[in-house]
Each structure stands twice: as structure tokens, then as C-alpha cells.
A and B are shown apart, each in its own frame.
Chain A
Amino acid sequence: MARIQNLKFAHRLFMRAYRYRSFDWSPGAHFNKALSESKFVLVTTAALYLPEQPPFSHDVRGGDCSFRELPGNVDVNQLNIAHRSSAFDQTGARKDRNLVFPLDRFRELVAQRTLGTLNHRHFSFMGSITAPGRLISETAPAVTQLLQEDQVDAAFLVPV
């Protein structure tokens, strides 16, 4: 189990002192459809990107809050990983991208008719963002607008 007290010293110090941000989402959206009739999108913060896309930057102060669109028919193990955080072990994700972006599992759920459909695109961020102002005001709203255009019914989000 991951706990702040078990992280590396530098991460622990930072995360103890850090003032976490929140964003008022109230009153919350009501999910009133059957899973088997719903369209899902995946959002990962594992910094996955296609070989032909630019990698996430490790040089942006406060963290690169840009995102990459991942096509729904992507072969997940062809995705590159650009994560800058040294707080976690990437060995598992390099072996099986579903560990951080479980698209194959969701495809299986659709094939079993547990879920309705998957969106034709999914989204990847690099989660190590210490100054999330632009994430909240620009890039997360940009993804949200695309999800509204796509008429997605629910989003499934995965950190690393």
C-alpha cells in the first residue's frame, strides 16, 4: 500500500508541506444509465503518448499540464511513457500498459456486453503537476469539452 510516510525522503517532505488543491464539482453528476448502455472514456495520468506525438516535457515549471489524445483502436503496448516522476516504479507499466491504462480490459467488458461502448478517443496527462492552475483552467476543461462533443456517459480515471 502506498503511503506518504513510505515515499522517498524528498517526496515525503514535499508532499507533507504541499497545499493540495481541490475544485468544486458540486452538486455532482447523476449516473442514471445502465453500464451496458453507456459510453466510457479512459483518462490516465501515466504520461502515455503515441510514438508520433511529442513526449511530455520534463522542463515546464510546475509540470506539463498538456494532454495527448489516444485513438480508441490503439495497441496499448505501443504507447510510450514519458513520466518524469521518480516516486514510482515504472517496471510494471512498461511490461503491461493496462496496469495504468486498462483499455484492453474495457474492450473485454464491451465484448462481454457489461459496458455499452468505448469512446473513439481516450486521454493521457502527465500527472506530476505541482502547479495545477492551468490544468484546472485550461487543459482539463479542453478535454471536458471534447467529452461533451463525444457524448460520453462516464469517465474512468487512473493515476500512477
Chain B
Amino acid sequence: MCNQSVGLIASVIEKAGIPTVGLSLLREVTERVKPPRTLFVPFRLGYPLGEPDRPDLQHRIIEAALKLLHASGSLPILNDFTP
């Protein structure tokens, strides 16, 4: 249920005027909750930043997610991370 919770918290924060971007591990859930900006990451539950002790991979995921803050086009955005 974490993916729903993140989507709902993001939605509440965004509604107050603070831009948000989140990760998702379950695309099917995020497609229903529809938070504003999400990067779907193809990892198992519990591993949103990919792998432990892999700063290089973790940085690539964060960078890809932060890019969504400046993405053009209409919201919501649900992009895929490509490892």
C-alpha cells in the first residue's frame, strides 16, 4: 500500500502549491492514484532506489525523477526509468 500512500501524500502536498515528484514500484497502483509526477522504477518491492550500496544507480534514479519537475506537458506524468 506504500505506492498508494506516496501518491496520496504527494497529491496533498501538491494541492498546497508545493511541487512533488515520487517514485513508484507498482505501476498498476500509481495509474489509479494518479499523483502529479512519478518515475516508475522496475525494481522489486523494498528496492525503490535499485540496490543497496550502489550510489551510481541511486543517483541515476534520482536525476531521472528530478527531471520530471521541469517536464513539459500536462500532468499527471508517469515515466519509466530505464536502468
Contacts and interface: CB of A to CB of B under 8 A. Distances in A.
Interface string B7-18: 111111111111
A81 B61 CA distance: 22
B4 A132 contact: yes
A114 to B, nearest CB: 8
B78 interface: no
B47 A99 contact: yes
A55 interface: no
A80 interface: no
Interface in A61-104: 63, 85, 87-93, 95-96, 98-100, 102, 104
Contact count band on B: 35 or more
Interface string B50-70: 111101001100100110011
B62 A63 contact: no
The winner among B10, B48, B65 for most chain A CB atoms within 10 A is B48
Contacts of A28: 14, 19, 36, 75
A85 B5 CA distance: 13
B8 A95 contact: no
B38 to A, nearest CB: 9
Contacts of A25: 10-12, 14-15, 35-36
Nearest to B46: A88
A9 interface: no
A29 B14 contact: yes
Contacts of B62: 102, 105-106, 109, 156
9 contacts: A93-B46, A95-B52, A105-B49, A105-B55, A140-B13, A144-B13, A144-B16, A154-B18, A160-B2
